[in-house]
């Protein structure tokens, strides 16, 4: 029998990236679908993974041999700050249900998705895989961050006690088609794309909060997808791997905004509201481990990824998450 790969959270930004890569890279290539593989991309409508019985039923239905676990209750700053207990509990439930069911069903390999918010608030940069547990995470989203951190502990514990092949990935900021473009809750790139489009449509200035000076590393969802496929097929250690562009690829929020203006074709007034907070100046993460294990990687240029994201949003405006 072949491999059955279940992707939880398979209908979100990252899951759709994996689906695209699997179906669009040449068959049987390093990242393309292999003849012996069946891929399943599950959404919350198939099973609410906060519920153990529903989780078990999902696994009973598909009988996965491998799992890429992306499903998570995510939210912006406001949802996190006002809901640390809920964010912690719901994510702990999802992760525990998925990982324990994988153990019960003897799933051969599980990759769970963490986030750079697992890292300590006060830590020496660049972030690397050895620094996750060196201090408390940022107080704004400590519930969500601790739930994600716990996955790394669970992976090691299940590996040590039961020999499970459980591991995790830590992506930096992701962007791409199928993102959440909600103006209140979205991450910076989809929020700015949406804002810029509205400014263009309404002939209004495009105003961004903050100075535009903070630096961030952004990874295109389809590049990230290749890394998940690599990790699934070629990496068998419980230790996490950071999935990121290099430290030399940091861009300022101003550069992001300028690239969006270009991609959207906005020609109106473009300004910064410096009364609004900037957030952390920079939090660079190292991709040394990733590149050494993968043997190099050709990243999609930022402007190219952004163009594809804008194009996708324009074409799917009526159905996109806004
Ligand atoms: P999205 O919000 O785009 O997608 C979330 C996915 O999880 C959806 O498929 C959603 O299903 C599913 N889901 C949510 N709640 C449940 C539930 N209770 N039961 C079952 N499924 C559920 O998220 P992303 O694709 O951006 O994120 C995927 C992973 O990547 C997450 O673990 C996130 O923490 C991580 N990550 C994301 C980053 C980013 O910048 N986006 C950065 C770093 C890490 P449905 O469509 O039915 O709602």
Give residue-wise pLDDT tens across range 265-286. 999 999 999 988 877 788 999 9
Residue 79: predicted pLDDT: 84
pLDDT band at 186 (very low <50, low <70, confident <90, very high): confident
Residue 263 has pLDDT above 80, yes or no: yes
Q: What domains sit in the chain, N to C, each tagged with a CATH number?
A: 3-173+218-244+285-300 (3.40.50.720)
DSSP state of 85: H
Whole-number Å distance between alpha carbons of 181 and 32:
28
How high is the pLDDT of residue 222?
98
User: Tell me, what's the pLDDT at 21?
Assistant: 98
Spell out which residues line ligand 1, taking CB within 6 angstroms. 9-15, 43-45, 48-50, 70-74, 94, 113, 115, 171, 173-174, 180, 187
Atom from ligand 1 closest to the CA of residue 10:
9
Nearest-atom index, ligand 1, CA of 178: 3
Catalytic choice (62, 103, 125, 144): 144
Atom 42 of ligand 1 has which residue's CA nearest to it? 173
Per-residue pLDDT reduced to its tens digit, 284-310: 999 999 999 999 999 999 999 999 999
Q: Rounded CA gap, 152 and 241, in Å?
A: 11
What separation, in Å, do the N-terminal and C-terminal C-alpha atoms of the chain show?
Answer: 41
- Would you say residue 76 has pLDDT above 80? no
33-64 pLDDT per residue, tens = 999 999 999 999 999 999 999 999 999 999 99
% of residues, the chain, pLDDT over 90: 89
Task: Report residue 71's pLDDT band, with 50, 70 and 90 as the boundaries.
Answer: very high
62 classed as catalytic: no
The CB density around residue 32, as the number of other CB atoms within 10 Å, is: 16
User: What is the rounded average pLDDT for all residues in the chain?
Assistant: 95
CA angle at residue 177 from 180 to 66, to 5 degrees?
A: 90
Mean of the pLDDT values across residues 205-231? Answer: 95
Supply the pLDDT for residue 279: 77
User: CB neighbours of 230 closer than 8 A, spacing ≥ 6?
Assistant: 30, 31, 294
């Amino acid at each position: 029998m072949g491999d059955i790969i279940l992707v939880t959270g398979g209908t979100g930004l990252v899951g759709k990236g994996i689906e695209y890569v699997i179906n669009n890279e040449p068959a049987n290539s390093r990242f393309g679908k292999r003849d012996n593989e069946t891929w399943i991309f599950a959404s919350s409508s198939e099973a609410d993974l906060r519920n153990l019985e529903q989780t078990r039923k999902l696994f009973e239905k598909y009988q996965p041999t491998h799992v890429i676990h992306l499903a998570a209750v995510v939210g912006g700053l406001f949802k996190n700050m006002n809901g640390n207990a809920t964010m912690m509990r719901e994510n702990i439930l999802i992760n525990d249900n998925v990982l324990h069911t994988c153990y019960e069903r003897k799933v051969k390999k599980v990759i769970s998705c963490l986030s750079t918010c697992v890292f300590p608030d006060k830590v020496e940069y660049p972030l690397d895989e050895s620094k996750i547990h060196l201090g408390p995470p940022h107080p704004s989203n400590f519930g969500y961050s601790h739930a994600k951190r716990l996955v790394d502990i669970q992976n090691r514990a299940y590996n040590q006690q039961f020999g499970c092949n459980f591991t995790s990935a830590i992506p930096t900021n992701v962007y791409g088609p199928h993102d959440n473009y909600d103006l209140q809750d979205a991450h910076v790139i989809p929020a700015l794309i949406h804002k810029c489009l509205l400014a263009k449509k309404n002939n209004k200035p495009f105003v961004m909060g903050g100075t535009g000076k903070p630096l961030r590393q952004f990874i295109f969802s389809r590049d990230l997808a290749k890394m998940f496929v690599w990790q699934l097929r070629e990496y068998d250690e419980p230790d996490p791997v950071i999935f990121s562009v290099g430290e030399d690829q940091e861009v300022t929020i101003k550069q992001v905004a300028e690239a969006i203006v270009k991609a959207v074709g906005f020609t109106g007034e473009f300004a910064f509201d410096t009364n609004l907070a900037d957030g952390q100046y920079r939090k660079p993460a190292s991709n040394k481990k990733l590149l050494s294990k993968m043997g190099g990687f050709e990243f999609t240029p930022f402007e190219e990824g952004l163009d594809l994201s804008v194009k996708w949003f324009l074409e799917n405006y009526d159905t996109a998450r806004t």
